[in-house]
Amino acid sequence: MKKTAGILVTISMVLLSTIGASAMEVAALKTQSINAGILSVQYRVPTSKPTKIMIENGSERVFYSLLSDRTEESFPLNMGDGQYKISILEQVSGTQYRSIKTETLQVNLKDSTSLYLGSVQEIKWNEDLEAVKKAAELTEGLATDLEKVQAIYHYVISNVSYEYDKIPTLTSSYLPDVDQTFYSNQGICYDYASLFAAMVRSMGIPTKMAKGYAPGIAEYHAWNEVLIEGEWKTIDTTMDAAYYQAGHSTQMIKNNAEFNKTSEV
């Protein structure tokens, strides 16, 4: 998977001073779920003004895009407990952004793994999605989390093929669409990881989308980490789909140490 600004969650920007007015309708932060590790934002973004949300806790910070064709998104608060600074940033020019709204939130997570069950911008799911219904069908009657993860894993690597033609068309605002990947049975690693995470999360099993570098893959990549029997296990459906569909055997659980993770949601 090639590296694009829309896939990386950290970017280099020059932040200018806060202003009090903007072409954007200033966003409203919905904080009901912050102690479950999820922040929801209601907003309206003009098409002419690229806009981002910056989430900070201590020395850590991450950026996500707010898109003009959406009015509400949810984002993970995955930097642990503490005082989070939330800023809405509007582009001035190039990499220069100015803050149009800033709030500080105190986050005390009830459970450090619960945020990896929720629906967020990059892993957007609900019970009505066909992919989620398929996950319920695949796992019906299965007793353990491992069995459920294996059933979903085998479905994904058997059915979803890598979409090479998508790479040249990617833009900085690209986001995975869980049901689109499910219906088309095609995607890039970002799509594989989002689909797999949504299906497994819908089973009540904490699942991360991890990004960074994987063994044997030169480009920036996305994969998953799943909490199984109290341990985070690395699973790469993109790589394994290629092997499986070429007639080779696969092993679902990978060696965590061989993957260089730079971010996660």
The amino acid present at 59, given as its one-letter code, is S
What's the confidence (pLDDT) of residue 24?
53
Say whether pTM exceeds 0.85. yes
d(CA 65, CA 251): 35
The amino acid present at 7, given as its one-letter code, is I
118 part of a folded domain? no
Check residue 62 and report its DSSP letter.
E
CATH assignment at residue 183:
3.10.620.30
- Structural domain boundaries enclosing 77: 14-112
pLDDT in tens, 133-155: 999 999 999 999 999 999 999 99
3-class secondary structure, 119: coil
Tell me, yes or no, whether 20 and 55 share the same domain. Answer: yes
Q: Examine the pLDDT at 127 and tell me if it is beyond 60.
A: yes
Answer positive or negative: Cα dihedral of 133, 113, 224, 144: negative
2 part of a folded domain? no
199 part of a folded domain? yes
Contacts (Cβ under 8 Å, ≥6 apart) of 170: 2, 4, 6, 7, 188
61-70 own/partner pairs: CB under 8 Å, 24+ apart:
61/10, 62/9, 62/10, 62/263, 63/9, 63/10, 63/11, 63/13, 63/89, 64/9, 64/121, 65/6, 65/172, 65/173, 66/27, 66/41, 67/173, 67/175
15/169: higher pLDDT = 169
Are 104 and 83 a contacting pair, CB within 8 Å? yes
Tell me, yes or no, whether 79 and 143 share the same domain. Answer: no
Find where tokens 């980490």 sit: 225
65: left (phi over 0), alpha (psi -120 to 50) or beta: beta
Tell me, yes or no, whether 146 and 254 share the same domain. Answer: yes
pLDDT band at 95 (very low <50, low <70, confident <90, very high): confident
pLDDT in tens, 4-46: 333 333 345 566 654 444 545 668 999 889 999 999 999 988 7
Are 79 and 58 a contacting pair, CB within 8 Å? yes
7 part of a folded domain? no
Tell me, yes or no, whether 165 and 209 share the same domain. Answer: yes
**Mean pLDDT value across the chain:** 90
239-244 mean pLDDT: 98
pLDDT band at 171 (very low <50, low <70, confident <90, very high): confident
Beta bridge partners of 39: 75
What's the confidence (pLDDT) of residue 9?
34
Least Cα distance to 74 among 201, 239, 180 occurs for 201
What's the confidence (pLDDT) of residue 15?
60
233-260 mean pLDDT: 98
Asked which of 55, 83, 112 is the last residue of a domain, the reply is 112
Tell me, yes or no, whether 134 and 107 share the same domain. Answer: no
pLDDT band at 3 (very low <50, low <70, confident <90, very high): very low
Burial 66-94 (b: 16+ CB within 10 A, else e): bbbeeeebbbbbbbeeeebebbbbbeeee
Tell me, yes or no, whether 143 and 256 share the same domain. Answer: yes
pLDDT in tens, 42-70: 998 877 788 999 999 999 999 999 988 88
CATH assignment at residue 94:
2.60.40.10
79 part of a folded domain? yes
Tell me, yes or no, whether 183 and 100 share the same domain. Answer: no
Return the percentage of the chain with pLDDT > 70, whole number. Answer: 90
Q: Examine the pLDDT at 86 and tell me if it is beyond 70.
A: yes
Tell me how many domains the chain contains: 2
